[in-house]
Homo-oligomer: A and B are copies of this chain.
């Protein structure tokens, strides 16, 4: 048992969330949750593990074969730590297909794991909001989910100019690949993957791979058509044989609905594919417009076929999944993260060991009023107690000395304004609650 050299580092690709980091995480979770509930979404929870088959069906080869934490359990079952939530919530809806009330609006905030090359914004254990609407076939549901995404970013204080929403539709993609570009099923699948990687590869590489998919003979005409497509900025500027196709009906209606909910920064993007195999209609992705940080924030889409895989009647579904890390990077790069102090509101400092019981009583009395109070029970000198409170960023200090106990008037210090007062118990409670109310008002202003 000579274990003195155990590493104190977290496991590769995971993070330790100390209170100062957890506060930021909790702030993001809070805004996600409040926005979701304001639209009538109800929270659910789900198992950490699923049998691998749940993902093998529709999540795509790369995710299952290369990125999933998969292992054999003690009962010889092959299980995965969930790499995403969509198959799980589809399974859950299938299991209660008959009993549930439709439309079902559901959200969860949970952790996931994937093997990823560690890089900025990508960790192996990551947190996501999942927001899904089951049982509405019309694009009104797609519009609601996208509107949620825009509202959520606005609650964080984002302006329309800070993000853009790119939208496409799997039915349109299918028509484009099969009818317009003339590809067969395998060719179409390869071309979708190629479009998906377009921003990550060079123009030459894109061209070479496109030629390989078309074949030498069909390549010149195919490439010409792709160049034309890449130049289109909206549906109406598409080649007319495409723009007039019925598959564009949903897209057109979606943009009409988004205008009604004042989502004005949504654009049609024919190159947007979304990698996962289960999408069947609308797909969309939110992007940061900051040129230094021009990354995808999050995305989602319609996946009408997934619930049916679990032996239930199919049910239409549309959803999205914003991630914690990209949201945090977005908020930081646009300077939208508020200053955060400790959740603890007051630190009780005892000036003499004899007064320990009186200090403990005062702390309990404050707690009974709903105040969040830490009591120093170390018996250390004043300066050490003070240092602890300041290091923890606790906004108020209460000092208990003989004078204070006798007169029931307390030395009360506001560490943010650096002012000192001599307050009765009731005034202290009042000052602490005023600060809490002001904090909530600040948030309300953001949300207004």
Chain A interface (Cβ < 8 Å from any Cβ of B): 1, 3-12, 14-19, 21-23, 25-26, 37-40, 42-51, 53-54, 56-58, 69, 71-75, 77, 79, 81, 91-92, 94-96, 101-103, 105-106, 111, 113, 115, 125, 135-136, 138, 140-141, 144, 260-261, 308-312, 342-344, 347, 357, 360, 364, 367-368, 370-379, 387-388, 391-392, 394, 444, 447-448
Q: How far is the CA of A402 from the CA of B92 in the complex (A)?
A: 39
Which 3 interchain pairs have the tightest Cβ spacing?
A40-B374, A17-B45, A14-B47
Name the distance in Å between A367's Cβ and chain B's nearest Cβ. Answer: 5
Contact of A40 among B39, B73, B92, B347 (CB under 8 A): B347
Assuming the contacts A53-B6, A101-B392, A377-B138, asked whether A48 and B111 have C-beta atoms less than 8 A apart, the reply is yes
- Contact status B261-A40, CB under 8 Å: no
- Contact status B37-A344, CB under 8 Å: yes
- Contact status A16-B311, CB under 8 Å: no
Name the distance in Å between A13's Cβ and chain B's nearest Cβ. Answer: 9
- Contact status A22-B8, CB under 8 Å: no
- Contact status B310-A38, CB under 8 Å: no
Assuming the contacts A57-B1, A310-B6, A367-B38, asked whether A106 and B374 have C-beta atoms less than 8 A apart, the reply is no
CB-based nearest B residue for A364: B261
Contact of A260 among B5, B74, B357 (CB under 8 A): B357
Assuming the contacts A3-B57, A105-B374, A364-B261, asked whether A26 and B48 have C-beta atoms less than 8 A apart, the reply is no
- Contact status B310-A7, CB under 8 Å: yes
- Contact status B3-A75, CB under 8 Å: no
13 new A-B pairs (CB below 8 Å) besides A6-B53, A69-B73?
A3-B53, A6-B311, A8-B91, A10-B46, A14-B47, A16-B44, A16-B47, A16-B92, A17-B45, A42-B343, A48-B81, A103-B377, A103-B388
- Contact status A125-B48, CB under 8 Å: yes
Name the distance in Å between A374's Cβ and chain B's nearest Cβ. Answer: 2
- Name the B residues within 8 Å of A16 (CB-CB): 44-47, 92, 95
- Contact status B6-A37, CB under 8 Å: no
Contact of A57 among B6, B14, B45, B50 (CB under 8 A): B6
Name the distance in Å between A67's Cβ and chain B's nearest Cβ. Answer: 10
- Contact status A94-B22, CB under 8 Å: no
Q: How far is the CA of A309 from the CA of B6 in the complex (A)?
A: 6
Assuming the contacts A3-B53, A309-B3, asked whether A43 and B343 have C-beta atoms less than 8 A apart, the reply is yes
Name the distance in Å between A36's Cβ and chain B's nearest Cβ. Answer: 9
- Contact status A372-B40, CB under 8 Å: yes
- Name the B residues within 8 Å of A368 (CB-CB): 448
Q: How far is the CA of A69 from the CA of B311 in the complex (A)?
A: 29
- Contact status B105-A377, CB under 8 Å: no
- Contact status A360-B125, CB under 8 Å: no
Q: How far is the CA of A6 from the CA of B309 in the complex (A)?
A: 6
Contact of A95 among B8, B17, B367 (CB under 8 A): B8
CB-based nearest B residue for A110: B111
- Contact status B39-A377, CB under 8 Å: no
Contact of A309 among B4, B74, B141, B447 (CB under 8 A): B4
CB-based nearest B residue for A40: B374
- Name the B residues within 8 Å of A392 (CB-CB): 42, 101
- Contact status B49-A11, CB under 8 Å: yes
Q: How far is the CA of A8 from the CA of B91 in the complex (A)?
A: 5
28 of the cross-chain contacts (CB-CB < 8 Å) are A3-B56, A3-B309, A4-B308, A5-B311, A6-B53, A8-B92, A11-B47, A11-B49, A12-B75, A15-B47, A16-B47, A16-B92, A17-B44, A18-B44, A25-B45, A37-B372, A38-B373, A39-B373, A40-B373, A40-B375, A48-B125, A71-B72, A81-B81, A101-B391, A144-B375, A260-B357, A370-B444, A370-B447
